[in-house]
């Protein structure tokens, strides 16, 4: 199956990155969200990234124009009818994903693959809303999608093996190194292992053992991590991390994933990490400084 046109639902950080990646590899990308302002901001963010490459002599202005020209923005879900590969990248809410995929299935052309970029929601549960659950597969990119090499591909109970194989080949075409799981497991591989580590870092901070910067320093210097765990949660998004750990705790009942209440307080306060300008660190300052969360 040749994939010439992709459809990305959700113009947040991940959806924007996936559309950027598709266009970078020569695939026409339709980027959809409910709000024109979100879509324009998404394209603006892609242009900022590319213009920095122009400044460094790694791209030309014409190449930027061509790449951005391969991305179409719209609020019309029916645009999915044109796509060979449809991927959803909205918030971690099973009910919402079920509703959206049921709508997408109605307009998608026969043979088009339906994929979800979910971190922790059940593929089988999402697919249960479809008339043909065999065409839905998990395809989890890591942030930033343009840079990170890993893509985890996960089948649900009903996923057609050929859908999995086509998705694997598409990931490789996009320049990624896919890991295909043998079966469905909550949060896949990397995110599940990482969730416990990140959760523990929040608990260490909440218990007042040391500061956010010292926790990050300890893990970078002691475990050779390229980025500290609290800085990473800020990059992922406090709300996204909370949703993932909450799902893991609910599904597995394992105390390793019990979300620290500090995360709840931060989300209620609008401290969502880099995307809101403040999380464990205040990004209005350069370099960012730890936020007083007591």
In a domain, 99, yes or no: yes
Residue 119: predicted pLDDT: 86
Give percent above pLDDT 90 in the chain. 94
Contact (CB, 8 A) for 245 and 256? no
pLDDT at 136: 98
Which is nearest to 198 in space by CA: 269, 139, 263, 147? 263
In a domain, 294, yes or no: no
Last residue of a domain, one of 180, 198, 216: 180
141 and 202 housed in the same domain: no
Confidence (pLDDT) at 9: 98
pLDDT at site 160: 98
Q: CA-CA distances (angstroms) from residue 261 to 38, 245, 256, 274?
A: 30, 12, 14, 20
Place 294 in a pLDDT band, splitting at 50, 70 and 90.
Answer: confident
The residue written with tokens 């930027």 in the block is 64
Asked if 74 and 196 sit in the same domain, the reply is no
Specify the residue for token string 């403040």.
278
Of 136, 157, 180, which closes a domain?
A: 180
pLDDT for residue 245: 92
Same domain, 94 and 236: no
What is the C-alpha to C-alpha distance for residues 30 and 94, in angstroms, rounded to an integer?
23
What CATH number does the domain containing 206 carry? 1.10.1040.10
**Which of the pair, 98 or 243, is modelled with greater confidence?**
98
Q: How many domains does the chain have?
A: 2
Q: Is 147's pLDDT higher than 80?
A: yes
Mean residue pLDDT of the chain comes to 96
Q: Is 1's pLDDT higher than 80? A: no
My answer on whether 138 and 276 are in the same domain is no
């Amino acid at each position: 199956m040749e994939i010439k046109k992709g459809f990305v639902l959700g113009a947040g950080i991940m959806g924007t990155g996936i559309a950027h990646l598709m266009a970078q590899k020569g695939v026409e990308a339709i980027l959809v969200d409910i709000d024109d302002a979100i879509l324009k901001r998404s394209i603006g963010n892609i242009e900022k990234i590319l213009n920095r490459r122009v400044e460094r002599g790694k791209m030309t202005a014409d190449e930027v124009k061509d790449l951005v020209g391969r991305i179409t923005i719209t609020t019309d879900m029916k645009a999915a009818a044109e796509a060979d590969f449809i991927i959803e990248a909205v918030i971690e809410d099973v009910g919402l994903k079920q509703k959206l995929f049921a709508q997408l299935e109605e307009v998608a052309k026969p043979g088009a693959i339906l994929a979800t970029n979910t971190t922790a929601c059940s593929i089988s549960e999402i697919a249960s809303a479809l008339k043909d659950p065999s065409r839905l597969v998990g395809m989890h990119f890591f942030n930033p999608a343009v840079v990170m090499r890993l893509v985890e591909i996960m089948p649900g109970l009903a996923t057609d093996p050929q859908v999995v194989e086509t998705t694997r080949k598409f990931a490789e075409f996009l320049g990624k190194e896919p890991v295909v799981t043998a079966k469905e497991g909550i949060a896949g591989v990397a995110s599940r292992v990482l969730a416990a580590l990140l959760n523990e870092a929040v608990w260490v901070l909440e218990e007042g053992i040391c500061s956010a910067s010292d926790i990050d320093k300890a893990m970078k210097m002691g475990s050779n991590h390229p980025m500290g765990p609290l800085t990473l949660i800020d990059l992922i998004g406090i709300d996204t991390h909370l949703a993932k750990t909450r799902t893991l705790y609910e599904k597995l009942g394992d105390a390793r994933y019990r979300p620290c209440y500090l995360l709840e307080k931060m989300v209620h306060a609008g401290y969502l990490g880099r995307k809101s300008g403040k999380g464990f660190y205040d990004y209005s300052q350069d370099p960012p400084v730890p936020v007083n969360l007591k």
